[in-house]
Amino acid sequence: MPLKIALIGNPNSGKTTLFNILTGSNQTVGNWPGVTVEKKEGRLVDDRSVFICDLPGVYSLSPYTSEEVIVKQYLENECPDIILNIVDACSLERSLYLTTQILDFRIPTVIVLNMMDILEKQGKKIDTEILSDLLGCSVVKISAANKTGLQKLKNTIRLTINNSAVNLKFDTTTEKALNEIYKYTAANSANLARWYSIKLFERDFSAANKLGIKADALKKIDSIINTAEKAFQNSSENIIATQRYKMVEFIYNKCVVSNKNRQNTLTDKIDNIVTNKYLAFPIFICVLFLIYSLALGSFSQNASEFITNGLFGQGWFLFNIGAHEYERDLNSYTENTKIIEYFSKNDNGSLKFANIYIYDQNGKITKKIAATRQDYENALKSTLPDKSRYGIWIPGLKSSVQNLLSKTNCSDEINDLITYGIISGAGAVVGFLPQIFILFLCLSVLESCGYITRIAFITDRLFSRFGLTGKSFIPIIVGTGCGVPGVMASRTIESGRNKLITIATTTFMPCSAKLPLISLICSTFFKHRMLAAVSIYIISILSIILTALIFKNFKYLSASTSPFIMEMPSYHLPKLSAVLRDVRQKVISFLTRAGTVIVLASILIWLLSNYGISNNVLVKCEIDNSILAQIGKHIAPVFKPLGWGDWRFTVSAISGIIAKENTVSTLSILFKGHELSAVIQEILNANSAFSFMVFNVLCVPCIAAVATIYREINSFRYGTLIVCYQCCFAYLIAFAVYKLLFLTLPVMLIIIYYASKTKKAKHAP
């Protein structure tokens, strides 16, 4: 029989880190409770006959959250041979509650005191011998991050296999009641009889069903419980919980020696500033600002341009040598053609001098050329500059494929589909890789060093005023990566209303797929593009708060307030390998999407935008008469009040529902052959562009996220309510943005201020 080891502990106690060391397998290392929702299995590196299972982090085994249910069921049904109870040594007191429950299973258990490195820095000591005596099981000190104590842990595991002695006892009255109940459970659940006795004592009737206890036996058990409840003047569940807390306090005081004169640790000092009542938010906004300055800075702009126009476009000069000169000569060649054009049109042989104006699409003069007859004659001799004379020209994907296809006699249509449909569409999205890479990198570093947890903490302070808990912020933070796991992370929230609001608002947060659009609009239309990018985040957060205030009126949703437990891990330097692994995974998933969903959607958009229906037959036609244009033009008027009534933007917004990256790739297909940022600048202004962006950020997320919303809310009615709400809300805010631009922010703040005030007044007696 292979040996089965279960890793159980609080969130962020280091289970996944230890699991990775023991099994050598790749996993993300996260900082939020709720990241490890599924159970993960692997085999021990030195001994492949040993199975290890990484269970989700929990604070107790009372089955209220889905994590707790997973762990409880695992222990009841899978019978692991050994439990490794991973305990964050720095928060021993909080961790021990779970330990007291685990020990009730009477499965051989090793207490693994992790994070010893931090504990030492804090100047605290834990007496493991006393702890081991009080609990009746082995205790090992390790530091998973520094890989210390692991050999001792492996030795201890071997010695523990057959040792299930436990010293934990409740007081005599409770023990007497438990022993009486034990008679009924022992027959049906050999090893777990103690655990089930306690469950029955707590009136957990699912245990009774599971054990198949008969009605008359249940009656007897009930009278046993009643006697105990009378003796304690308390409910049986509370009797057990109170005594567990007492045990924990007793054990903690016995075995922890703390150095009273210790100095404030660096973490305390940083936290004093970073979570300070007044400074926390300004600092948070500065951090966001800094991240976006990096992500949208000139480095990533240049890299981005290289990818779209070079790699995926016509081509580029090696090391950029000759690019400048070529550009200059190309410009003068274009001017020359204008001169030739003008002279050949207007010249009767005597024209000596001409002022030639160059116009843009809106008829605005962009340049004036004063040309003489001599200039005209010179122009006649000018030739299109040959790239190969300036430097080493490397053709890009688009021009190479175009050449290749024309050589193979492939039809123009296929050529067009591949170059302007697929390559342009995918290129437009992949072009944002530099921005996204930098953003992922920054977020991953912040997560790894512990700052993201602080953000959740400070937002909890803000959120709790509007009836949301900080727990809602975890899904929202996860949602900045992708809405799907974001919505799923709302499982940790028990309360009906909080859960509904969280699910409805998680996707308001710009996910990574929305970044290309944000980056495009902010850098095309705003001189201070970072400010614009940060303000979209602020609009998102304000929208969440506003929604919470609106949904407060749903009386029939229960509103139990669950206490928010979130630990503050000490700050540590980011682990380079973990950060890189995390960024690599995100980048790969971004690229796979660009390579699959986006390519397919691009093909579809290309087809619909190149074919139209005439006399009931499908014919190739100009884009303005295409099927897509027909559909788009019908819907476009709806968005006219938002400032972007052009059908191409409507179509782009709709295609975003398949995948949000599509908004950009669709635009690039529809404005075929033009530089996207230049051409949208001719159609939109700052207000309407910002309105377009806000609408796409707040409106329904992609299909995958919508499906997740329906699944998590588990009600067709509420799911539909959420989707409709998101559309209407996005429309309203986009309208406000079109009219007010950045003034929308203070207006939203004022509305929130008054709405929360009137709510309070209503609740006052």
Q: Say which residues have a Cβ less than 8 Å from residue 564's Cβ, sequence separation at least 6.
A: 460, 464, 469, 470, 471
145 binds ligand GDP (CB under 6 A): yes
Total residues contacting ligand GDP by CB under 6 A comes to 24
For the segment 35-54, give every residue that binds ligand GDP (CB under 6 A).
Answer: 36
13 binds Mg ion (CB under 5 A): no
Label the pairing between strands 109-114 and 315-317: unpaired
Question: What is the rounded end-to-end Cα distance, in angstroms, of the chain?
Answer: 65
- Binding partner of residue 17 among Mg ion, ligand GDP, none, CB under 5 to 8 Å per kind? ligand GDP
| CA atoms within a 13 Å half-sphere pointing along the CA-CB vector of 94 | 15
Residue with tokens 């502990």: 9
Label the pairing between strands 617-620 and 82-88: unpaired
Question: At its nearest, how many Å lie between ligand GDP and the CB of residue 188?
Answer: 33
- Binding partner of residue 572 among ligand GDP, Mg ion, none, CB under 5 to 8 Å per kind? ligand GDP
Taking the least distance from each CB to Mg ion, the nearer of 29 and 295 is 29
Q: Which of 76, 117, 204, 416 binds ligand GDP (CB under 6 A)?
A: 117
492 binds Mg ion (CB under 5 A): no
- With beta carbons less than 8 A apart as the criterion, state whether 625 and 647 touch: no
Q: Which of 10, 20, 23, 36 binds Mg ion (CB under 5 A)?
A: 36
CA–CA dist 283, 530 (Å, integer): 15
Taking the least distance from each CB to ligand GDP, the nearer of 312 and 457 is 457
| CA atoms within a 13 Å half-sphere pointing along the CA-CB vector of 604 | 12
Sign of CA dihedral 106, 61, 1, 136: negative
What is the distance, to the nearest Å, from the Cα of residue 497 to the centroid of all Cα atoms in its chain? Answer: 22
Question: At its nearest, how many Å lie between ligand GDP and the CB of residue 333?
Answer: 57
14 binds ligand GDP (CB under 6 A): yes
CA–CA dist 21, 153 (Å, integer): 12
> b/e map of 311-326 (b: 16 or more CB within 10 Å)?
bbbebbbeeeebbeeb
Taking the least distance from each CB to ligand GDP, the nearer of 120 and 347 is 120
144 binds ligand GDP (CB under 6 A): yes
CA–CA dist 97, 243 (Å, integer): 10
Taking the least distance from each CB to ligand GDP, the nearer of 145 and 303 is 145
266: phi then psi, degrees, rounded to nearest 5: -60, -40
Taking the least distance from each CB to Mg ion, the nearer of 16 and 444 is 16
Question: At its nearest, how many Å lie between Mg ion and the CB of residue 11?
Answer: 7
Question: At its nearest, how many Å lie between Mg ion and the CB of residue 15?
Answer: 5
Of 119, 133, 57, 128, residue with least CA distance to 91: 119
Taking the least distance from each CB to ligand GDP, the nearer of 15 and 72 is 15
13 binds ligand GDP (CB under 6 A): yes
Question: At its nearest, how many Å lie between ligand GDP and the CB of residue 457?
Answer: 16
Give me the 483-522 binding string for ligand GDP, x by CB under 6 A, dash otherwise: ----------------------------------------
31 binds ligand GDP (CB under 6 A): yes
Question: At its nearest, how many Å lie between ligand GDP and the CB of residue 256?
Answer: 18
15 binds ligand GDP (CB under 6 A): yes
Question: At its nearest, how many Å lie between ligand GDP and the CB of residue 146?
Answer: 6
Select from 32-40, 285-293, 334-342, 730-738 the region that touches Mg ion (CB under 5 A): 32-40
- With beta carbons less than 8 A apart as the criterion, state whether 221 and 228 touch: no
Of 438, 429, 530, 537, residue with least CA distance to 480: 537
For the segment 409-468, give every residue that binds ligand GDP (CB under 6 A).
Answer: 448
Select from 110-118, 184-192, 224-232, 733-741 the region that touches ligand GDP (CB under 6 A): 110-118
Select from 137-145, 199-207, 353-361, 396-404 the region that touches ligand GDP (CB under 6 A): 137-145
16 binds Mg ion (CB under 5 A): yes
Q: Say which residues have a Cβ less than 8 Å from residue 59's Cβ, sequence separation at least 6.
A: 10, 11, 94, 97, 98, 565
Taking the least distance from each CB to ligand GDP, the nearer of 584 and 739 is 584
Q: Say which residues have a Cβ less than 8 Å from residue 274's Cβ, sequence separation at least 6.
A: 280, 283, 451, 454
Question: At its nearest, how many Å lie between ligand GDP and the CB of residue 16?
Answer: 3
Taking the least distance from each CB to ligand GDP, the nearer of 454 and 593 is 454
Of 392, 298, 379, residue with least CA distance to 336: 379
Sign of CA dihedral 691, 693, 697, 703: positive
Binding-site ranges for Mg ion (CB under 5 A): 16, 36
Q: Where does this chain bind ligand GDP (CB under 6 A)?
A: 9, 11-17, 29-31, 36, 57, 114-115, 117-118, 143-145, 448, 569, 572, 575
